[in-house]
Amino acid sequence: MVRQHVNPLSRYHQQPRPLPPLEELFAAPSLPLHLDIGSARGRFLLALAPLRPDHNHLGVEIRQPLVEAAEADRLAAGLANLRFLFANAGVSLPDWLAQLPPGRLALVTLQFPDPWFKTRHHKRRVLQPSLLRALATALAPGTALFLQSDVHALIEPMVALVEASGCFDRPAADPRPWRPTNPLPVPTEREQHVERQGLPVWRVLFLRNNTPPPPLDALEALAAADGVTNGASAGGEPRPTP
Ligand SMILES: C[S@@+](CC[C@H](N)C(=O)[O-])C[C@H]1O[C@@H](n2cnc3c(N)ncnc32)[C@H](O)[C@@H]1O
């Protein structure tokens, strides 16, 4: 049985894992890279990778049995532009992103991350200032970070953190505060589940701008001042744009 949640702050999950060379991961390692954080059973990337053969797709997931099952499906499908790796994103991704050739990272998706509702568990949420800073450092100007969630009290502080960094803007044409649609051609498993129930989804597409990432301690101070890492800024739940 696959556990519903694992504690990313446990000693086991705090161990960094190595990033295999891109040449070992992908048949065409120089393609632009799409990173999906929290790829779960992998069905989103398994459906997207054949539709986007001009990209490599990397799913990172903290629950190892899900990674193994997703990898088995990937091998069976013969997809050479897709890999799933077991890692705690908050621990391993900063190093992995720093190892990528400049400009290689083309898209980051963070979709329906675990909400960890209790205040004392907010530190377990995946988007912390250090990961956001690493993403901002690796993403070139014009590349995209897509966030979506069905939990308003979670996505609001995530958006506040991204905005506090000063490193991202929304596309001029996008409705504020939320995008009504997913810009990608494939919904995630959680997205399908939520939409089948007719429940709202909050979505934001960010584009990397030219602003250098702030120092980590400055970003942490901004986040703490805004309450963005403990969810304190989350207010009521406005209905998303239909
Ligand atoms: C609610 S599920 C959403 C899965 C998928 N993105 C979707 O939309 O269907 C969140 C996933 O993120 C994974 N996850 C949580 N914390 C993580 C972390 N620190 N690093 C990598 N994956 C993580 C969970 O194990 C889970 O599979």
Which entry of 54, 73, 114, 150 is annotated as an active-site residue? 114
Q: In the structure, what pLDDT confidence band is assigned to residue 4 with cuts at 50, 70 and 90? A: confident
The answer to whether 110 and 74 are in contact (CB under 8 A) is: no
| Mean pLDDT computed over 52-76 | 98
Give the residue whose CA is nearest to atom 12 of ligand 1: 38
- CA dist 126 and 9 (Å) reads 10
Distance CA 239, CA 232 (A): 19
Any ligand 1 atom below 6 A from CB of 90 = yes
Residue 9 confidence class, pLDDT cut points 50, 70, 90 = very high
Superfamily of 21-226 according to CATH: Vaccinia Virus protein VP39 (3.40.50.150)
The closest residue, in CA terms, to atom 11 on ligand 1 is: 38
CB 202 within 8 A of CB 153: no
* pTM of the predicted model as reported, rounded to 2 decimal places: 0.94
Q: Is the CB of 184 under 6 A from ligand 1?
A: no
The burial class, CB within 10 Å (0-12 / 13-18 / 19+), for 88 is buried
State residue 242's pLDDT score: 33
Domain residue extents for the chain: 21-226
Residue 65 CA to ligand 1 center (angstroms) comes to 13
Q: Per-residue pLDDT tens for 75-113?
A: 999 999 999 999 999 999 999 999 999 999 999 999 999
Given 3-state DSSP classes, what are the helix, strand and coil percentages for the chain, each rounded to the nearest 5?
Answer: 35, 15, 45
The two three-digit tokens of residue 186, written as one number? 């494939």
Kindly tell me if the per-residue pLDDT of 132 is higher than 80.
yes
**Residue among 159, 148, 207 nearest 181 (CA):** 148
* 150 given a catalytic annotation: no
